Chains A and B, each alone.
Chain A
Amino acid sequence: QKEVEQDPGPLSVPEGAIVSLNCTYSNSAFQYFMWYRQYSRKGPELLMYTYSSGNKEDGRFTAQVDKSSKYISLFIRDSQPSDSATYLCAMSTTGNTPLVFGKGTRLSVIA
């Protein structure tokens, strides 16, 4: 079992839909939870991070962490074609230990 599991998709949604992206993990020591967006031929870009449990909101994006279930989610409201990208979850035990990534979910938002 990989430490971090993420459904690769692809996921295709109409413009304006709410998108839900998820990861599960096995290492209960993870404390930092990140979401990255990666456009084709580009490096990953940090969207949001959460420390420990709880929710965090930033504009159209909401990140949730449920440590009891070892499950994290990223919600995108009012999705736009410009949100079409691969979304990667990543986790670490402390702020400066190596990140462990999920394989990424490819999202297409259709206009």
Chain B
Amino acid sequence: KAGVTQTPRYLIKTRGQQVTLSCSPISGHRSVSWYQQTPGQGLQFLFEYFSETQRNKGNFPGRFSGRQFSNSRSEMNVSTLELGDSALYLCASSLARHNTEAFFGQGTRLTVV
């Protein structure tokens, strides 16, 4: 069974640009959560989608947005990139929105220059 797949694995962008990251959950999983991981702040929750609806949202500015498609694949978008957005972006999928059964992908390493 394939795990959570995140693409691309690495990305370099310039300040002011926008970026879209993709997450394909484990087959059959309908919940996708996104986290940002930085050395200074650790892992911080961005948002969660279940059945194409945002169920929870973390404390991030409106430049961070996401969506989920009917096949459960999810994308997150960051507009007007800032240097501080450099981070590892992780997504986790679960079958029924339960943390005890969530599996993480390997993440997308975003570097903003």
By a beta-carbon cutoff of 8 Å, the part of chain A in contact with chain B is 32, 34, 36, 41-46, 49, 88, 90, 92, 95-104
Contact = CB atoms under 8 A, between A and B. Distances in A.
B56 A97 contact: yes
Contacts of B97: 95-96
Q: Which of B33, B35, B44, B99 has the most CB of A within 10 A?
A: B99
A41 B107 CA distance: 8
Contact of A32 (B41, B58, B100, B106): B100
A104 B45 CA distance: 15
A43 B4 contact: yes
Nearest to B96: A96
A31 B107 CA distance: 27
B106 A96 contact: no
B72 to A, nearest CB: 16
A104 B4 contact: no
Given A34-B99, A88-B42, A95-B97, 17 more contacts: A32-B100, A41-B106, A43-B4, A43-B106, A92-B99, A95-B98, A95-B99, A96-B97, A96-B99, A98-B56, A99-B35, A99-B45, A101-B43, A102-B42, A103-B41, A103-B42, A104-B43
Contacts of B42: 88, 101-104
B104 A32 contact: no
- Which of B43, B45, B92, B103 has its CB near the most chain A CB atoms (within 10 A)? B43
A57 to B, nearest CB: 17
Contact of B104 (A41, A43, A102): A43
Nearest to B88: A43
A34 B105 CA distance: 17
B76 interface: no
Contacts of B107: 43
Interface string B5-17: 0000000000000
Interface centre among B4, B58, B97, by most chain A C-beta atoms within 10 angstroms, is B97
Contacts of B81: none
Contacts of B75: none
